């Protein structure tokens, strides 16, 4: 797995993931909405932490900065 997420995108995914997880536990949401927030938040958090998104790889998207030689 090579990095395919840039620094800004990684930061945004981590923040959004944490916010969704906090909302799912803190707010009184219907069960389906709570489960959806947990799943989406966990996926966003994990992909942000590891710097790799399988969906971006599938579509050929790479926001990671190119290394200078």
Look at residue 69 and give its three-state secondary structure: coil
pTM, rounded to two decimals: 0.86
| Tens digit of each residue's pLDDT (9 = 90 or more) over 11-47 | 999 999 999 999 999 999 999 999 999 999 999 999 9
- pLDDT surpasses 70 at 63: yes
> 2: closest CA among 63, 43, 45?
63
Joined together, the tokens standing for residue 51 give 């710097």
């Amino acid at each position: 797995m090579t990095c395919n997420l840039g620094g800004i995108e990684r930061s945004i995914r981590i923040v959004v993931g944490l916010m969704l997880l906090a909302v799912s536990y803190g707010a009184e949401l219907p069960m389906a909405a709570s489960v959806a927030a947990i799943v989406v938040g966990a996926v966003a958090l994990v992909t942000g932490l590891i710097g790799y998104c399988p969906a971006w790889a599938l579509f050929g998207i790479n926001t990671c900065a190119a290394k200078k030689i």
